[in-house]
Amino acid sequence: MCMSAALPSPATADIMDHFQGQVQVAPSIGFRDYGGVRRFSGGIATVRCRENNPLVRQRLTKEAGGGRVLVVDGGGSTRCALLGDMLAAGAVQNGWAGVIVHGCIRDSAAIAQLPLGVKAIGTNPTKSGKADPGEADVPVTFAGVVFTPGHWVYADEDGIVVSAIELALPAADNPAANASER
């Protein structure tokens, strides 16, 4: 079952209450929410690239997301944007639940209108380069967390939580699940 498609994502605070010690956590410090969805989750897919986004474009616009989250390790660079409104719209069209960028985005006002979770460390109107595609589906590390393809990520206003497996909260402790039953 793909949690991001079936039920709203559980809050990261609730996940920590039930799974602390079993998950990795990155605080929101350094990341801002830019998408129209603030709470999102899904299986992890990754791209490692620095100031070049060909693989980000390819994955979001040509590959079925299946409710996954693309984690982009841009090395924390703030010199250019790795995601813009056209790529974000492609992500929505292809079924991605969200994008977490360890770098910058652009077109933030347009991205805020899309039904997509987007976290990034900032904005920059400058386009990225296209010369070096980077690497896909490799473990990436930032914010004190290792993001491994196939593992699960949960994100909201409080932070980012990573688990080796999909997590399910007991129904009584998952307000998001209870709200969907009304």
Confirm or deny that 73 is annotated as ligand binding.
Answer: no
Confirm or deny that 7 is annotated as ligand binding.
Answer: no
Confirm or deny that 132 is annotated as ligand binding.
Answer: no
Confirm or deny that 85 is annotated as ligand binding.
Answer: yes
Confirm or deny that 82 is annotated as ligand binding.
Answer: no
Confirm or deny that 107 is annotated as ligand binding.
Answer: yes
- Displacement of CA 104 from its chain's centroid (Å): 13
Annotated binding site for substrate: 84-87, 106
| Binding-site residue ranges for Mg(2+) | 107
Q: Would you list which residues are annotated within the binding site?
A: 84-87, 106-107
